[in-house]
Structure 1
Amino acid sequence: MSRRPDRSVDAITRHADRKKQAREHPGASPLRGLGTFGMVGWSIAVPTVGGAFLGLWLDRVAPQDFSWPIALILGGAVLGSFIAWAWVSREGPGRGGDDQ
């Protein structure tokens, strides 16, 4: 009587490999998109608001012909945009994030 190879071992191995692959490379998640949206918002908002407060303080300490708060709000928005751009380009799909 000939013995057939045990197919259950192969099935278990394939199943375990699929689970390992899914754990190592998770798919895109809607929550990841919300997290990215929040991170971009905070990376722009924090330097902008910080620039406004620093500008108000500088207006009292070192008054100038120009408005410190307006200048530093614009500077904070530009700095925050660069930070957000760098973060999105580093974490985005196909750019070194989890999607690779």
Structure 2
Amino acid sequence: MANNIDKHKLETTSKTQSTLASTVGIKVTRKIKARDNSHQSVWFGLGMMGLIGWSVAIPTLIGASIGLYIDSHYPGERSWTLALLVAGLAIGCFNAWHWVEKEDMAIHDVNQEKNKEDHIDE
């Protein structure tokens, strides 16, 4: 009976240590990657947010401006301002999504290249 309890404690302890070791390994890997990407500072993130904001705002404002021009020169039942504002917003959101996707792919490509180099060095 005591032998079974000791065996159970040993299995539980080894599982806990294994889980702890894998968690620590993941955190260390994350910190090393963050240190390697130190060139991407807070300013890089703020610049990216500004870029994304402008990539949405400019098409929206252009759409609203064209809509205002059409509504003032060719009045009608429908509001071209609202329709083109929404169209500009949709184009801007697509543009921002495309830009973020492109940056994400570039980051993953750099990380994959570094991982390949690390495996070659070992």
TM superposition score category, shorter chain reference:
0.5 to 0.7
Corresponding residue for residue 69 of structure 1: 81
Structure with more helix by fraction:
2
Unaligned residue ranges in structure 2 (runs of 5+): 1-35, 111-122
Question: Using CA pairs below 8 Å that are at least 6 residues apart, which structure has the higher relative contact order?
Answer: 1
Matches within 5 A, 1:76-91: 76-91=88-103
User: Are 2:98 and 1:96 aligned?
Assistant: no
Matches within 5 A, 1:1-100: 27-92=39-104, 95-97=105-107, 100=110
Aligned partners of 1:42 and 1:99: how far apart in 2? 26
State the percentage of identical aligned residues. 40
Runs of 4+ in 1 over 4 A off after TM superposition: none
Letter in 1 for 2:47: G
Residue by residue over 1:17-57, the C-alpha shift from the partner in whole angstroms, topping out at 9 and shown as x without a partner, is xxxxx7xx763211110111001100000000111110010
TM-score normalised according to structure 2 size: 0.55
Distance change >3 Å, CA 77–CA 54, structure 1 → 2: same
Letter in 2 for 1:82: F
TM-score normalised according to structure 1 size: 0.66
